[in-house]
Structure 1
């Protein structure tokens, strides 16, 4: 519960704000907690903070949820393009990890719905960030942990999270290099929610398996998909916890290790996460003025590589497997047999699921030519997500326009402060 948010919403009436804060505080806090004094202090702090209006954020009128932020689809891409513009990064930054000289880095937030299952949150976030640098040809050196607990979070959440992270790092033979442990909003956020992320750092060799290397004439080899944080979340919130065990493996990371032996036979590598293969195909074309491609996918072969228990769950729940993370690895190659053979030597199932064809106006099509367009959000995979749906109350044009306005104002603020710093006025 965001106490500061409540106070800001009701600050026009200090008494109304104070009463609501007391109500919320009493829900979580015991009798020893100074509820009245805390509520009064929050109202005082928020009231004083209103004087710092010029430092507040740009108001777009579009909320994060309505924009599709974090929901791994078209809306998410619009927001990321805006961030790239502000930071000066190219659209090719849609790739799995960032590379500078021989250093490669990546960061993955914990799955937002695994906050009450911190071991799983730590395990899958660590696995995801390591996979992001490994698919680019990076050799991981270690990870960095950033974990935030709400004021009422049990410390067992923290120890379980660390155990989940270190399960993966121990298996991979790398270290937790550094970390930060804080509370969400300090005293201003009550409840038991945790949030945070895991970053990984590594070194990269001469060959980099970038998405820009995907080109016409390649075959798409996919490994088995056992699911990760998204599939674990699907299982938990549909009352099917037995499926979670299928996600607790690291075959995707072992598949990345095969790159050492087949590097000369592979052009590009990525994983099937972030909105599934529908979104991955869009990201492959992001930032390309020339050289766009169309992925032609054999849907039957794609589905055949999904873990049978996971696949049956998705069928039972009527969830589109093409639109969510299944945690497979995609190899783009002109030597598919050699790649599949090397993967099988490591007991990793793989098959050719498609080809890279000349761009025909669509990022991805089925084998019989039916477009498989990216959705506004990833496939809804929990009961709540199904209620919210795969849409926004705003059109894509409206989102684009509002986000562009925010970019302009944020850039203005950035340039003003930069100018002051350079002239010595800051």
Structure 2
């Protein structure tokens, strides 16, 4: 519970704000005289801070959930492109990881629904971050860990998170180089939720950028056992025996094999994560102006059978969720598949890259696999919320552009007045 948020929401009704804050403090901390002092202090802080309007954020009138932020669909894709504009990043660099000279970096936040399962949160965030640099042809050098606990979080959550990170670190012989441990919101956010991220840094040995995806390449996919998303689906639908299937590292091993033994026949790689293959195809089409044509049955046959069964029971779209497979783009699929099978990694040709056909991804039968506003719902709460928004994409884009312009003006004002020594 964000006590500062309660105050900001209810001011100028200070008495109501104080009452609500005390109620929440009593819920988490118990009845005590200190609660009233804390409530008054929170109100004082918020009132003081409201004076500094020039540093306030631009109000778009859109909530994060309404825009699809973080939900790996069309809304999230739109916001990422705007962030690229704000940061002056070329859309051609829309990739799994960032590159500067021969240094490759990536960062992955922990899955939002794994707060109460911190080992899984740490394991899958570490795996995802390493995978993001490895699909770009990098040799991992180290990991960076950032973990935030709410004020009432049990410190055992911190240890379990680090244990999850360390499990992948030791299994892949990639050291943890640095980290940060803080509280979410300091004293004004109470509750038990954790948040954070794991970053990875590596040295580029190959170039498997998305811009290398060209018409005529075949798409080889490795076996998929899911990660944080599939774990969340199993946990919150109460499906036994699925979380254990996600605790594998075949995806990272496949990246190693490609880097070490198949560099001469592989042009590009990516992982099936952001909104499933629908989302990956959308992102790649924006960089390379191509379409994927795939065989649905071959794709499904490469996903762990327990996961497929669970998704079918929950009516989740296997093409719209992260399954943590690796997509390998090559002109010699037989060499790729033959080498991977020697390493006990299943793979198959699931399709090919063609010229742009009006949609990022289609099937050989001609079915258009249009990206959704959000990834397919995979927990009971997500199923209730659904896969839509009260706004059109055009309305969202207009409002976001207004907020973006305001932030850009603030950025330019600070840059103009920044007091630093000229280089």
TM-score normalised by length of structure 2: 0.98
1:323 counterpart SS class = coil
**In structure 1, what is the Cα distance between the partners aligned to 2:121 and 2:360?**
31
Counterpart contact for 2:145–2:198, Cα < 8 Å: yes
Task: Return closer, same or farther for 1:333/1:287 CA change in 2, 3 Å cut-off.
Answer: closer
**In structure 1, what is the Cα distance between the partners aligned to 2:102 and 2:364?**
38
1:333 aligns with 2:330: yes
Counterpart contact for 1:219–1:333, Cα < 8 Å: yes
State the match for 2:213 in structure 1. 214
Measured against aligned partners, the alpha-carbon deviations of 1:330-349 in whole angstroms (never above 9, x if no partner) come to: 00001000000111111000
State the match for 2:223 in structure 1. 224
State the match for 2:404 in structure 1. 407
**In structure 2, what is the Cα distance between the partners aligned to 1:200 and 1:380?**
29
The Cα of 1:194 is off from its aligned counterpart by: 0.1
Measured against aligned partners, the alpha-carbon deviations of 1:90-110 in whole angstroms (never above 9, x if no partner) come to: 113321000000100000000
1:119 counterpart SS class = helix
TM-score normalised by length of structure 1: 0.97
Counterpart contact for 1:90–1:287, Cα < 8 Å: no
Count of residue pairs the alignment pairs up: 421
The Cα of 1:190 is off from its aligned counterpart by: 0.4
State the match for 2:268 in structure 1. 268
State the match for 2:11 in structure 1. 11
Counterpart contact for 1:270–1:331, Cα < 8 Å: yes
The Cα of 1:32 is off from its aligned counterpart by: 5.1
The Cα of 1:198 is off from its aligned counterpart by: 0.4
The Cα of 1:422 is off from its aligned counterpart by: 6.2
State the match for 2:415 in structure 1. 418
* Stretches of structure 1 lacking an aligned partner (at least 5 in a row): none
State the match for 1:95 in structure 2. 95
**In structure 2, what is the Cα distance between the partners aligned to 1:166 and 1:187?**
29
User: RMSD across aligned C-alpha pairs, in angstroms?
Assistant: 1.2
- Please list, as runs of the form range in 1=range in 2, the aligned pairs for 1:66-85 lying within 5 A after superposition: 66-85=66-85
* Greater Cα shift, 326-335 or 9-18: 9-18
**In structure 2, what is the Cα distance between the partners aligned to 1:73 and 1:307?**
23
**In structure 2, what is the Cα distance between the partners aligned to 1:167 and 1:424?**
45
The Cα of 1:125 is off from its aligned counterpart by: 0.1
The Cα of 1:356 is off from its aligned counterpart by: 0.7
- Please list, as runs of the form range in 1=range in 2, the aligned pairs for 1:225-244 lying within 5 A after superposition: 225-244=224-243
1:187 counterpart SS class = coil
Task: Return closer, same or farther for 1:347/1:33 CA change in 2, 3 Å cut-off.
Answer: farther
2:146 counterpart SS class = strand
**In structure 2, what is the Cα distance between the partners aligned to 1:244 and 1:25?**
35
The Cα of 1:30 is off from its aligned counterpart by: 2.8
2:203 counterpart SS class = strand
**In structure 1, what is the Cα distance between the partners aligned to 2:243 and 2:33?**
38
State the match for 2:314 in structure 1. 317
**In structure 1, what is the Cα distance between the partners aligned to 2:356 and 2:41?**
60
Measured against aligned partners, the alpha-carbon deviations of 1:50-80 in whole angstroms (never above 9, x if no partner) come to: 1111111010000100000000000001111
State the match for 2:44 in structure 1. 44
Measured against aligned partners, the alpha-carbon deviations of 1:333-392 in whole angstroms (never above 9, x if no partner) come to: 010000001111110000000011121111110111111011000011001001111111
Runs of 4+ more than 2 Å apart: 30-33, 422-425
